[in-house]
A and B are shown apart, each in its own frame.
Chain A
Amino acid sequence: MSLFHFVVLAPFLMAVILPFFYYKFRSIHTGWFLLPLPLVLFLYIATYIPFGGGGMEPVIYSVPWVPSLGIDFTVYIDGLSLLFGLLITGIGTLVVLYSIYYIANKQDEPLQNFYVYLLMFMGAMLGVVFSDNLIVLYVFWELTSLSSSLLIAYWFHKEKSRYGAQKSMLITVSGGFAMLAGFAMLYVIAGSTFSIQEMISQAGTMVQDPLILPAMLLVLAGAFTKSAQFPFHIWLPDAMEAPTPVSAYLHSATMVKAGIYLVARTTPIFGLTQQWFWILVIFGLVTLTWGSISAVRQTDLKGILAFSTVSQLGLIMSLLGMASAALHFEYVDQDTMYVTAAMAAVFHLINHATFKGSLFMAVGIIDHETGTRDVRLLGGLMTIMPVTFTISLIGLAAMAGLPPFNGFLSKELFFTASLNAASFDIFNLQTLGFIIPVFAWIASVFTFVYSMMMFLRTFTGAFKPDNYEKHVHEAPWGLLISPIVLGSLVILFGLFPNMLAYTIIEPAMQSILPGLTSVGDQFYVNIYHWHGINAELLMTIGVVLFGLAVALTLPKLYGAGFFQRERDPLNAVYDTGLDQLVVQSQNITKAQMTGRLRDYMLYMGVFIAGLGLFTLFRYDALAISLEGQGGIPIYVWLVTGVLLACTLALPFVSGRMTNLILLGAVGFLIALLFVILRAPDLALTQLLVETVMVVLILLSFRHLPEMTKESKRLLSTSAKAVVSIAVGTFVTLTALSVHAYRSGADITPISDYFVENSKTLAGGYNMVNVILVDFRGLDTLLEVLVLGVAALGIVTMIKLRMRGGEDV
């Protein structure tokens, strides 16, 4: 086990011991004990950054876990996992610091729960990004779903929290299961390996496999549910019931990017198919547009940010789709223009984590200090909360894509990538490609609008003290540190984007698009603010002008039908679906579990007869042999005739005495048949048993009521008749076939052994009795046991009857 394994395991170990700190040191906020951990992890992971330039060599550490199944806990560190690892631990540190001040009232809050869940999440997330083994990745993936649900339902006494947690759990876990199935297919395609890197090395042959498309769709189902892509995004707005540090950490910076990570990680495999490109681009663009339009109609600040996150994730997803086009070109100098998309995706991933994290924290501060997040109540906070205002302004400007913040740069790159995509001459892009920049532009307009709206309605206008329950003032400094750090990063990355270029972005691009560059030769990333007057700049100017116009006419827009309701219309599909699932399964159960014995007997009869007859005819097993049927003596005909007459009369008579007489007659006639068929012991036993049985029934006769009349409804009677005749036919046909087989095949019965050895080995003349007590004595022993148990049971039933009302 290498030291790096402990990077993944450390949060789990810490989660185990943290509650002891909580109960031992009640006076100190538990968060302080936890704060050093993500910081140390961040610094340790940062040592892997290739500061000197010259690209990054991946590092692999492996520990066997279940070697017989090919499951190894393999840690794989390359540019992509490094980027995510730094995001998780870096923002984790800031979130922990922020939460210490956010959940300050430590007497009322179960802090030990909060931090244990958070640590569990952090460890699981690190496991997802550093695992090279698909099964290990899946285990950590589900752990993130679990801990995320626990965190959403942190205030579990609130109904909405439980609803949100259940929803996110159901959606992400369904996606996770689909993903597991996809992984299993990949295992089969790749020839029994779970290692992602081994799969990438044979990606060329893997895409030839017919299973690659289902595997791709299933893996994408996992990625799309996790990363809140359309139409699976509906859980994210409801997850906003979580405490704000959780929303900032899980639902903007890390967990929702797990799907992005998975897509980026598997691009070298799936990116070789055309479907991958189109699915990612279409779903990404639809999510981008839908999210940005939906965000405008929200009145809750966290609701706006949730839909904004959905939209930005769609943007990154579509960029990753466009980036996969680069894999289809063999000339290195040509693909520089296609890899712009990959660069934009990675860069925007970083940017989004910084500005969205800071915005969530700012919203949390506003909520914390004013007691509301409703934009209809807020207003005029600019002078009252100047620091929060500054942070929000930076974050919102970056989100809207304004210079000089980092959002501007990634938006320009996004436009460049989408314009490039329109000019590819693959995948029918020359005809359909124009859609991509159009969608991108529309979505950018709405992004600008909701950013503007958040800014205008929260910070400008008149300050109305009556709207708030508490005295509104600036937040304490402890709460402000984390958003200030993130806001500074927004500016820093905006002004000096190239400090990320060879340290983070280039290695990450190399992981997404391996094999495009030869060893030692890397992608060359250089991000400028000023490219001269080009199409992208004109598009941005158009976004700003058009966005301003929309934002100013916004009050009129709210009258339109779509913008009146806050809830996403897709929620109705989810809610009705879930309700119907319960209702319909209840209906099915009710229809089939009737509580009537005869219905269950009917089902069994149908299945026995159906399956049996089907098998008989399907496999041509039916055979009838009429050999040696002559010479049946007349008395056999007579006995059989009477037996059958008694039997057939049974269902038609209703009196219990008649029934009993018929039953007794059948029993005695069977005994007579045993005599005819030369089975003296059987005849004797049958006679005795039948007599005892009739006596037994007669004994209880006086206490039994008149037998219930059968209903005369034709349908139920004929159904019973059909099923019983079918079962009888099946039994008869099977018996006939067995007989035919037996007389056809040359079978020596083992009974010859008993005939020869009864006297010599067992010293008995009655072969049946010798078999019963000597050759197969164990059967008899257990049969005696059965009789004993039956007798005991009867005694128990009669003697130990409960009088009712007692507990069993």
Chain B
Amino acid sequence: MEILMILTGGIIITVAVYLLMTRSILRVVFGIIMLSHGVHLLILTLAGLEEGAPPLLTENADAYTDPLPQALILTAIVISFGVTAFLLVLAYQTNKAHDSDDLEELRGNADE
């Protein structure tokens, strides 16, 4: 199970890094979203995916899955959501100001 999840996470990150290097601002933002997906999955996986009940004490199980990485990921999801929302509005405003989605056109002057 872990190996499968690690490979999935690795592939998601590969695609994310590729998207970060593209020309379109929107694609770069998509790359950041994908990057956080990959990282969340890896955090969960690397803590171990032992069989066990969900981390709710009402289950009365012998073993529970690790609650700590879940708490960490929950925090990470919210933070990456905040950042992504900000970036999206930034991309929107950039487009409104410069009428372009092309990072190549949004380059600074060569002398700077």
B47 — which chain A residues lie within 8 A by C-beta? 749
Q: Are A707 and B11 in contact (CB under 8 A)?
A: no
A767 — which chain B residues lie within 8 A by C-beta? 55-57, 64, 67
In the complex, whether A495 has a CB less than 8 A from a CB of chain B is no
In the complex, whether A779 has a CB less than 8 A from a CB of chain B is yes
B102 — which chain A residues lie within 8 A by C-beta? 708
Which of B82, B85, B101 lies in contact with A707, CB distance below 8 A?
Answer: B101
Q: Are A640 and B75 in contact (CB under 8 A)?
A: no
Give, as a whole number of angstroms, the nearest-CB distance from B94 to chain A. 10
Q: Are B3 and A626 in contact (CB under 8 A)?
A: yes
Q: Are A724 and B17 in contact (CB under 8 A)?
A: yes
Q: Are B46 and A710 in contact (CB under 8 A)?
A: no
Q: How far is the CA of A276 from the CA of B20 in the complex (A)?
A: 59
Give, as a whole number of angstroms, the nearest-CB distance from B9 to chain A. 7
B4 — which chain A residues lie within 8 A by C-beta? 629, 632, 636-637, 640
B70 — which chain A residues lie within 8 A by C-beta? 679, 681-682, 768
From A764, which residue of chain B is reached at the shortest CB distance? B57
Give, as a whole number of angstroms, the nearest-CB distance from A603 to chain B. 11
Which of A597, A605, A754, A780 lies in contact with B68, CB distance below 8 A?
Answer: A754
**Of listed A689, A735, A742, residue having the most chain B CB within 10 A:** A735
Which of B5, B81, B110 lies in contact with A693, CB distance below 8 A?
Answer: B81
Give, as a whole number of angstroms, the nearest-CB distance from B67 to chain A. 4
In the complex, whether A776 has a CB less than 8 A from a CB of chain B is yes
Which of A656, A659, A758 lies in contact with B57, CB distance below 8 A?
Answer: A758
Q: Are B41 and A673 in contact (CB under 8 A)?
A: yes
Q: Are A731 and B42 in contact (CB under 8 A)?
A: yes
A754 — which chain B residues lie within 8 A by C-beta? 67-68
Interface string of B68-112 (1 = CB under 8 A from A): 101101110111011111101111110111011111100111101
Q: Are A728 and B88 in contact (CB under 8 A)?
A: no
Q: Are B21 and A724 in contact (CB under 8 A)?
A: yes
Q: How far is the CA of A723 from the CA of B41 in the complex (A)?
A: 22
Q: Are A724 and B9 in contact (CB under 8 A)?
A: no
Give, as a whole number of angstroms, the nearest-CB distance from B40 to chain A. 7
| Stretch in A331-339, A562-570, A574-582, A793-801 touching the partner | A793-801
Q: How far is the CA of A725 from the CA of B14 in the complex (A)?
A: 5
In the complex, whether A790 has a CB less than 8 A from a CB of chain B is yes
In the complex, whether A184 has a CB less than 8 A from a CB of chain B is no
Give, as a whole number of angstroms, the nearest-CB distance from A170 to chain B. 26
In the complex, whether A703 has a CB less than 8 A from a CB of chain B is yes
From B72, which residue of chain A is reached at the shortest CB distance? A779
Q: How far is the CA of A767 from the CA of B110 in the complex (A)?
A: 54
A647 — which chain B residues lie within 8 A by C-beta? 11-12, 15, 34
Q: Are B10 and A732 in contact (CB under 8 A)?
A: yes
In the complex, whether A720 has a CB less than 8 A from a CB of chain B is yes
From B92, which residue of chain A is reached at the shortest CB distance? A700
Which of B21, B75, B101 lies in contact with A605, CB distance below 8 A?
Answer: B21
Interface string of B21-42 (1 = CB under 8 A from A): 1111011101001100110111
Q: Are B22 and A723 in contact (CB under 8 A)?
A: no
In the complex, whether A188 has a CB less than 8 A from a CB of chain B is no
In the complex, whether A539 has a CB less than 8 A from a CB of chain B is no
Q: Are A765 and B66 in contact (CB under 8 A)?
A: no
Q: Are B17 and A723 in contact (CB under 8 A)?
A: yes
Give, as a whole number of angstroms, the nearest-CB distance from A797 to chain B. 5
| Stretch in A234-242, A399-407, A615-623, A662-670 touching the partner | A662-670
In the complex, whether A535 has a CB less than 8 A from a CB of chain B is no
**Of listed A632, A731, A738, residue having the most chain B CB within 10 A:** A731
From B99, which residue of chain A is reached at the shortest CB distance? A705
Q: How far is the CA of A513 from the CA of B42 in the complex (A)?
A: 73
Q: Are B28 and A597 in contact (CB under 8 A)?
A: yes
Q: Are B68 and A636 in contact (CB under 8 A)?
A: no
Interface string of A711-724 (1 = CB under 8 A from B): 10000000011011
A751 — which chain B residues lie within 8 A by C-beta? 66-68
Give, as a whole number of angstroms, the nearest-CB distance from B79 to chain A. 5
From A789, which residue of chain B is reached at the shortest CB distance? B82
Q: Are A696 and B88 in contact (CB under 8 A)?
A: yes
Contacts A595-B107, A728-B13, A749-B48: A685 and B74 contacting too (C-beta < 8 A)? yes
Which of B3, B12, B68 lies in contact with A629, CB distance below 8 A?
Answer: B3
Which of B49, B91, B99, B100 lies in contact with A677, CB distance below 8 A?
Answer: B49
Q: Are B21 and A790 in contact (CB under 8 A)?
A: no
Q: Are A689 and B1 in contact (CB under 8 A)?
A: no
B23 — which chain A residues lie within 8 A by C-beta? 598, 708, 710-711
Q: Are B15 and A650 in contact (CB under 8 A)?
A: yes
Q: Are A595 and B85 in contact (CB under 8 A)?
A: no
Give, as a whole number of angstroms, the nearest-CB distance from A210 to chain B. 48
A706 — which chain B residues lie within 8 A by C-beta? 101
In the complex, whether A648 has a CB less than 8 A from a CB of chain B is yes
Give, as a whole number of angstroms, the nearest-CB distance from A781 to chain B. 11
Q: How far is the CA of A491 from the CA of B17 in the complex (A)?
A: 83
A650 — which chain B residues lie within 8 A by C-beta? 15, 19, 30, 34
In the complex, whether A759 has a CB less than 8 A from a CB of chain B is yes
In the complex, whether A601 has a CB less than 8 A from a CB of chain B is yes
Q: Are B9 and A798 in contact (CB under 8 A)?
A: no
Q: Are A705 and B14 in contact (CB under 8 A)?
A: no
Q: Are A732 and B17 in contact (CB under 8 A)?
A: no
A519 — which chain B residues lie within 8 A by C-beta? none
Q: Are B67 and A755 in contact (CB under 8 A)?
A: yes
Q: Are B103 and A768 in contact (CB under 8 A)?
A: no
In the complex, whether A192 has a CB less than 8 A from a CB of chain B is no
Which of B54, B101, B103 lies in contact with A704, CB distance below 8 A?
Answer: B101
Give, as a whole number of angstroms, the nearest-CB distance from A642 to chain B. 11
A738 — which chain B residues lie within 8 A by C-beta? 46
Q: How far is the CA of A595 from the CA of B103 in the complex (A)?
A: 9
A766 — which chain B residues lie within 8 A by C-beta? 55-57
Q: Are A651 and B44 in contact (CB under 8 A)?
A: no
Q: With A677-B65, A708-B24, A779-B75 given, can you name 16 additional A-B contacts, CB distance below 8 Å?
A: A596-B104, A597-B28, A598-B103, A636-B1, A679-B55, A681-B70, A692-B81, A703-B96, A705-B99, A708-B101, A720-B18, A749-B68, A767-B57, A772-B71, A797-B90, A801-B97
The 6 A-B pairs with the shortest beta carbon distances in the complex, nearest first, are A728-B14, A732-B10, A790-B82, A767-B67, A724-B17, A724-B18
Binding site for B on A (CB under 8 A): 590, 594-598, 601-602, 605, 626, 628-629, 631-632, 636-637, 640, 643-644, 647-648, 650-651, 656, 659, 663, 666-667, 670, 673-674, 677-682, 685-686, 689, 692-693, 696-697, 700, 703-708, 710-711, 720-721, 723-725, 727-729, 731-732, 735-736, 738-739, 742, 749-751, 754-755, 758-759, 765-768, 771-772, 776, 779-780, 783, 786-787, 789-791, 793-794, 797-798, 801
A-B contact pairs, 5 of them (CB 8 A): A647-B34, A651-B18, A679-B65, A680-B56, A779-B71
